[in-house]
Each structure stands twice: as structure tokens, then as C-alpha cells.
Homo-oligomer: A and B are copies of this chain.
Amino acid sequence: MSIRVGIVGISGFGGGEALRLVAGHPHFELVHAAGEGSAGSRLGERFPGLPARLAGLVIEKWDPAALPALDVLFASLPTGHSAEALARVPAGVKIVDIGGDHRYAEGWAYGLADVWPEAIQGQRLVANPGCFPAATLTALAPLLAQGLIEPGSIVIDAKTGISGAGRGGADSRFGFAESNENLVPYGLLKHTHMPEMATTIERLSGGSAAGLVFTPHLVPMTRGVLATIYCRGQATTAQCLSAAREFYAGREFVRVTDAPPQTKWATGSNLAFVSYAADPGRNLVIAMGAVDNLGKGAAGQAVQNANLICGLPETAGLDGAPVWP
């Protein structure tokens, strides 16, 4: 089966990773690529390692009214740039929005694919979770679903590689010279990913996420998100691990590990690694989730969502092992 695929936002890191995954997908045929900065170039000029059969495709200027016939469109646009434009995409085109505009928007399924695959299957419009929520919620879901932690007092200390700032965001703060050998907390008490996480925590637990705290940090690495999450709860480490293993039984992309997860375990893959350490005597559960911010945190999860809405095996095009070291 061949599914006609387009990607908009091909100049960015998320769009580029979607391109890599689509290029290796057994059922997807890339027929359209659109970008802002790179319109007019051939794909091979921008991505010198692309397979030869795709290198000649010309990048178009993004125009939702002038799309070729497509089955699926991946949109990876900066937050604020996709809401209006995607509304003009013809109704027959399925859309996975990697950007931030449609998370919990009306008419859009929330694409936390390892947790709610059934809610995504058969949908036309899917909003991909953000990279921080992908790491965080994958780790928390089993605990919340089984009532092992209190939803109202969750503290998320999150760390991201610098590709998370996006390619357009390349001011000197994200330049190598200023980023290397530096560690930067930012966006305290007001990050844009908070509402999405609060809503999902409430959906998973049935309780209020009112006390949610989220602190992101920029780490000098290209890829990777790690969330270290402090919760109140009476479960033991073994109970948490066991709950997660049960919750994700049969799910291909979530690995529950005894050791604390490392971001490099996930590089280049759609995997999420989760682990737990608890001390009931202190009413404490620490949950940890590690993903590749461009994999499970963006394009990997987007392809998984596309597989779900197209009725393909969930792992199609996503079974490559991570790149290590």
C-alpha cells in the first residue's frame, strides 16, 4: 500500500526528522515538501544524505490551497502559524500537526500515542504532544491511571537539548559558543507546555492538576529530553515499575527500565524510557522519562500517529534501533 504524504515546515528540525522517517517508511511516498526558508531548493541540496529517489523533489512555498493530492500531511510549523493555515487544507487530507496550535483543540485528537492509541485510530486530525509532555506524560501515565500518585502536587524538572529551541530560534543564545558548557533554566512558572500537561494529568487521573510545577532547562546537547518528576504517593519503587510494565504491556515504544533512563538511549528513535524511584516513608515517588525530542517528542510520534490514523502497523517505519554512542 502506498500512502501519499506531504510535509510542511521542512526547513525546521521537526520537519527534517519527519522527512528522514518518511524516507525510510515502507508505505509512505513523499510527494510534497513545503518550507519557508528553503522554498525553491531541491530536497537533496538541503539534505545531502537523502536517498537519491527523493533528492530531486523541489521544496514548494507553503500554500494550503495549492496542495497536490495527499493522504497525509505532516505540519511542523512554529506555534501560532498552523491554526489558520491548516483549516484551509482540503477535507480529504489527514493531518498530524507536530506544532503546538491544536493540542486539545476542538476536532483534534491528542496524539499521546502510547497511552491512547484507540482514540487516535481512524481520526483525521491529530495534534502531536510537545516534547516535554511526551517525556513527562509517558512516565506519569501509569501512576496516574492507577492512582499511585496525587495529581495535585506534581513537580516536573525537565531538561532539553538545544534543537528543542527550533532552527528559526537561532539567535546567539542558541549559538554553539554561548550554549556549550552552559546550563540554563528558563520560562519558570509560565512555560507554554503547562496547560497541555495539566489537561492530560487530569484526563488520566480524574483529579485536579492545580499544583503543577514545571521548570525547563537548556542542556548543551543537540537532542534529548529528560523529565525528572517529583510526586506525592505511597507506592514503592517496585509497585511503580510493575504498574508501568503492566500499563505498557504490548506497547512497542515504551521501555520500563530498572535503572534511571538516559537520553542517549533514545537518540534517533521513537522510544521512550521510563523508570521510577520511590520512598513511601517520605510520601515520595520520583518518575523519570527520557525521549529524543525530535523522535518521540516530535517526528517519531507523528509517524506513529500517522500509522494509527492510516490503519498501518504502529511500528511501520519506526523500528530502527537508536544510534549509540
Contact = CB atoms under 8 A, between A and B. Distances in A.
Interface of A: 13, 16, 19-20, 23-24, 47-52, 155, 157, 159, 161-163, 165, 167-168, 170-172, 174-186, 188-189, 210-211, 213, 215, 217, 219-224, 226, 228, 230, 252, 255, 257, 260-269, 271, 273, 277, 279, 282, 284, 286, 288, 290, 319-325
Given A20-B320, A48-B255, A177-B325, 8 more contacts: A20-B322, A49-B265, A157-B228, A184-B260, A184-B263, A185-B228, A185-B260, A220-B220
Given A175-B170, A213-B284, A284-B213, A269 B49 contact: yes
Contacts of A255: 48-49
Contacts of A264: 178, 181-183
Closest 9 CB pairs of A and B: A182-B264, A49-B322, A170-B172, A157-B157, A185-B260, A176-B179, A188-B277, A163-B177, A170-B175
A268 B171 CA distance: 24
Given A157-B228, A320-B24, A162 B177 contact: yes
Contacts of A288: 185
A273 B48 CA distance: 9
Number of copies: 4
Contacts of A52: 252
A24 B319 contact: yes
A157 B271 CA distance: 24
A16 B282 contact: no
A155 B230 contact: yes
Given A180-B176, A223-B181, A159 B162 contact: no
B189 A51 contact: no
13 contacts: A24-B320, A48-B257, A48-B265, A167-B177, A177-B222, A181-B264, A182-B221, A182-B224, A185-B261, A188-B286, A213-B282, A222-B325, A230-B230
